[in-house]
Chains A and B, each alone.
Chain A
């Protein structure tokens, strides 16, 4: 009996407590909920761009709920980078073709003497071709990643394009080491010839003598144009190596913003690099008579050396032995 009374009393007390407790908190709750909703808007506003919380998965990246900058990244890559980059390459080819049509091949004006001097030894040429071959592979596979979907995929179909791009991707990754090594060797071997000197100003003022026949401004082993290429290659390789290895080792050091930036830098610098090397290839082959021999056999004609590298020619290896005074 007593127990029943106790139980009823307890229930009544509990009910009363609940009734008392119930009313004001309901209001408070509604209020705090309204506040909370307002806070959400404020939170969204405040965290604009990156909403990061906590996840139970051991993957830090997955804690980011939404990263709207992915959309901006896509717009920059698919918009200005690809269109400006693509048109730049087209423009470079058109300009080179127009230049060739107007100026023609730069001839050795004194004609070939038949006597040669050594311009690049075996190690120099190995370094050049190691870098050159790896650059071509990197350039073509990179261009395929950038423009292949639009230009090659419709021609060969998705399966073949997948195989091609897979080969390209693996080549791009592995050949990069050869390229970086090549540029490193180049820097070590040639840096002493590539510091700018007073006479380089004259070479630049004369446009390297490229524009007019019979004009041959002074140049050492490397002319001012080649020195510019040298430093741009060093700089370009550095930028490409840093951004490229960031991409090859995703999220090792960079966060999402770092990865996105790396890819944009890699794409832009890569396109500029290809544009630069197109001009370099032109002048080293089609654009100038006798120039290819320097990296081909390593032996250049004495007259070519005198015309294009006037300050270097007298001290070139073998210059005296071949009767340079004649």
Chain B
């Protein structure tokens, strides 16, 4: 069974934000919610680099550990998903997440948060695959259709890789070997205990 992961090759990312746009469009994400974002470090200075970041679908996911209502679950592909029917919008997962993945729509007064929304690795939620209910709550379920996440599919420089962890790690390793340099797989050492050597 594949173990799905994202890998962003920061030597290739050109900060075009196509991944962000593709994600928003594919899942019809509302304003104010960003399942994926591109962060530019050292902007305008030496060593500038951009990294596309979303939920990393951690091995020992902190969101899952701190959730007071236990609304998270892991699919057979290693994707971390959650149930919006169970989420109470408390915000604990956002404090625990190393990658700032959980997002909350603003509902009602003050800081009251709606149900959490995050990257699903284009694989929906607990509802039936590609059902209307699933689409409305979690967006498209591309994995069920045999497709990979759209953000990575859209990436013009192939900076963002999505797929089986071992496969994308090998692609990255080959690139690093060919180029002779690479700054590592961003976030992997935080997200995964095993196989983070890439």
Decide if A165 touches B68 in the complex (CB within 8 Å).
Answer: yes
- The smallest C-beta distance from B173 to any residue of chain A, in angstroms, reads 15
Which one, B38, B67, B83, B95, contacts A70 given CB within 8 A? B95
Q: Which residues of A contact B184 (CB under 8 A)?
A: 40
Give Cα A189 to B183, complex, Å: 64
Chain A 78-117 near chain B by CB (<8 Å), digits 1 or 0: 1000000000000000000000000000000000000000
Flag the segment in B46-54, B131-139, B162-170 that touches A. Answer: B46-54
Give Cα A144 to B111, complex, Å: 21
Decide if A149 touches B38 in the complex (CB within 8 Å).
Answer: no
Give Cα A162 to B88, complex, Å: 7
Q: Which residues of A contact B78 (CB under 8 A)?
A: none
Flag the segment in B97-105, B117-125, B141-149, B152-160 that touches A. Answer: B97-105
Which one, B34, B46, B53, B71, contacts A65 given CB within 8 A? B53
Q: Which residues of B contact A36 (CB under 8 A)?
A: 46-47, 181, 183
Q: Which residues of B contact A145 (CB under 8 A)?
A: 68, 90
Decide if A54 touches B85 in the complex (CB within 8 Å).
Answer: no
Give Cα A64 to B51, complex, Å: 11
Which one, A53, A57, A73, A166, contacts B41 given CB within 8 A? A53
Decide if B96 touches A73 in the complex (CB within 8 Å).
Answer: yes
A71 at the interface (CB under 8 A from B): yes
Decide if B39 touches A65 in the complex (CB within 8 Å).
Answer: yes
Q: Which residues of B contact A59 (CB under 8 A)?
A: 32, 34
Closest to A58 in B: B32
Q: Which residues of B contact A55 (CB under 8 A)?
A: 37-40
Give Cα A54 to B42, complex, Å: 8
Closest to B89 in A: A169
Decide if B88 touches A169 in the complex (CB within 8 Å).
Answer: yes
B192 at the interface (CB under 8 A from A): no
Give Cα A34 to B183, complex, Å: 10
- A33-B181, A63-B39, A70-B98 given as contacts; is B47 within 8 A of A165 (CB)? no
Which one, B34, B67, B89, B182, contacts A62 given CB within 8 A? B34
Chain B 62-79 near chain A by CB (<8 Å), digits 1 or 0: 100111111100000000
Decide if A67 touches B42 in the complex (CB within 8 Å).
Answer: no
Give Cα A258 to B42, complex, Å: 25
Q: Which residues of A contact B69 (CB under 8 A)?
A: 148-149, 153, 158, 161-162, 165
Decide if A73 touches B99 in the complex (CB within 8 Å).
Answer: no
Give Cα A268 to B38, complex, Å: 36
Closest to B15 in A: A56
Decide if A71 touches B96 in the complex (CB within 8 Å).
Answer: yes
Q: Which residues of B contact A54 (CB under 8 A)?
A: 39-40, 43
- The smallest C-beta distance from B176 to any residue of chain A, in angstroms, reads 10
- List the 9 closest pairs (A to B, CB-CB), nearest first: A53-B41, A40-B183, A74-B62, A74-B96, A53-B39, A65-B39, A54-B43, A249-B111, A250-B111
Q: 19 A-B residue contacts at CB 8 Å?
A: A33-B180, A33-B181, A34-B180, A39-B46, A40-B49, A43-B41, A54-B40, A55-B38, A65-B41, A71-B62, A71-B96, A73-B95, A74-B66, A144-B68, A158-B70, A165-B68, A166-B88, A249-B110, A250-B111
